[in-house]
Structure 1
Amino acid sequence: MSPLHVERIEVKSLDQIKAMRVAGLVVAEGLAAMGDAVRPGITTGEIDQIGRDVLAAHGATSNFLGYGTEWGLPPYPGVACISVNEVVVHGIPGSRVLQPGDIVSIDYGAIVNGWHGDAARTFAVGEIDSDSQLLSDVTRESMWAGISTIGTGRRIGDVSHAVEESIDSHGRDFGIIRDYTGHGIGTAMHQAPDIPNYGKAHRGPKIGPGMCLCVEPMVTLGMDDTAVLDDEWTVVTVDSSRAAHWENTTAVLPNGLWVLTEPDGGRAQLEAHGASYAGLD
Structure 2
Amino acid sequence: MSALRFDANLKWLFTEHDFLDRFAAAAAAGFDAVEYPDPYPHPAAELRKRLEDNGLHQVLVNTPMGEQGTREQQGITCFPDLVPRFKSEFLTALDYAATLGADFVHVVGGMIPPGTSRDRAFARYVANVVWASEQAAGTGVRLLLEAQNKRDAPGFILETQAQARAVAEACDAGNVGVLVDVYHAQIDEGDLTELLGRELPGAFHIQIADPPRRHEPGTGELNFRTVFEAIAASGYEGWIGCEYAPLAGTVDGLGWRGELTP
User: Same-fold call, TM > 0.5?
Assistant: no
The structure with the greater share of residues assigned to helix is 2
